[in-house]
Amino acid sequence: MSAAYVVRRVLLFFVVVWAATTFIFFLPKMAPGRNPVMERIGMMVATGGVNTGGLQQMVEAYQKKFGLDKPLWEQYLTYLSDISHLDFGYSLMLYPTKVVDVIWTAMPWTIGLLSVATLIAFALGTILGGLLAWPRAPRLIQYLLPPLFTFSVVPYYLLGLILAYILAFRLRIFPMSGSSQYGVVGSFSLGFALDVLYHSILPALSIVLALVGFWALGMRAMMVSISGEDYMLFAEAKGLRSKRIFLGYGMRNALLPQTTTLALSLGTILSGALLVEIVFGYAGMGAVLFRAVTAFDYFTIYGVVFFIIVGVAFATLVLDLTYPLLDPRIRYQKN
């Protein structure tokens, strides 16, 4: 892995972050005719949803940030410096809470749910996919194919709705919504931890079921094309044990393209997970986004979107920099 590659990848990351922030800056300005944020504030005054003292401060902060009296490039620079300090302004719906704080509280929930679910789905899916392609695997595995296929096609949150109805509403095995018992304050106790776990099972299950099918099918296709390679035939001719060929030669080589697919689909997985959170009222960024959109809390929307884009870009960067370490073939290529 050359230094040039690392530099290029890191540069790409910053380009993406910059592009995202610039986009978020310019879009509201290009909204035909009016400025949605100002409109929103005006609407809040009209409906009396905010005390006028706070409103004055908000308008001032708004003026300062989007300093409509200052030239555009100066507004842009101020904006950029604010963003780099993670200052997204105040949440319109939860004033006087700052956007950053709202996101900060929600983020751990999302990251927790997402990483656990993705890892389980990836591991399970990859193994299942490999087995599905291996002729010596037990026949029973093949019966998993149709349901996996069906699940992989359905958007996660729709799956979540169905699961919520069946397992929570009808059968009352799991809680309907929320990430923890309503009204209980978070603490580092075992009871709380278990409670969180209990509430996370359904959302996680929705994600896992949908993702497993996707990974399994991908892995299966990969294994099929690899099993046609000459080195597999050679390994078999050498008399290596079937399990050894399967794990050491087959799975290991298919793992790299799988990881590449992982890197490319991070954005999609995150989007899906956010929608699942909405269905289950899970206190992660998905719920924040939902409330922000319904309340037209633009500052929060932009803040959440920024974190999503940067988060995915960062995770992709990490993956891009680690899998050359996994696969020597990549390491020695110039590109």
Chain centroid, CA 168 distance in Å: 25
Q: Does 296 bind another protein (CB under 8 A)?
A: yes
Which parts of 110-139 interact with another protein (CB under 8 A)? 133
Buried b (16+ CB within 10 A) or exposed e, 267-278: bebbbbbbbbbb
Write out the two tokens for 107.
Answer: 């983020």
**Residue 136 tokens, joined:** 């010596």
Q: Per-residue x/- marks for another protein, 165-184, CB under 8 A?
A: x---xx-----xx-------
**Residue among 85, 136, 172, 334 that touches another protein (CB under 8 A):** 334
Q: What long-range pairs does 1-8 form, CB within 8 A, spacing at least 24? A: 1/321, 1/324, 1/325, 1/330, 1/331, 2/334, 5/324, 5/335, 6/321
Residue number with CB closer to another protein (90 or 306): 306
Closest distance of CB 234 from another protein, Å: 19
Query: Is 285 an interacting residue with respect to another protein (CB under 8 A)?
Result: no
Residue 153's nearest CA partner among 213, 87, 64 is: 213
Among the listed residues 114, 289, 299, 303, the single contact to another protein using CB under 8 A? 289
Residues 6+ apart with CB under 8 A from 154: 210
Kindly tell me which of 27 and 325 has the beta carbon lying closer to another protein.
Answer: 27
* Site of interaction with another protein (CB under 8 A): 12, 15-16, 19-20, 23-24, 27-28, 31-32, 36, 133, 150, 153-155, 157-158, 161-162, 164-165, 169-170, 176-177, 220-221, 224-225, 228, 263-264, 266-268, 270-272, 274-275, 278-279, 289-290, 293-294, 296, 298, 301-302, 305, 308-309, 312-313, 316, 334
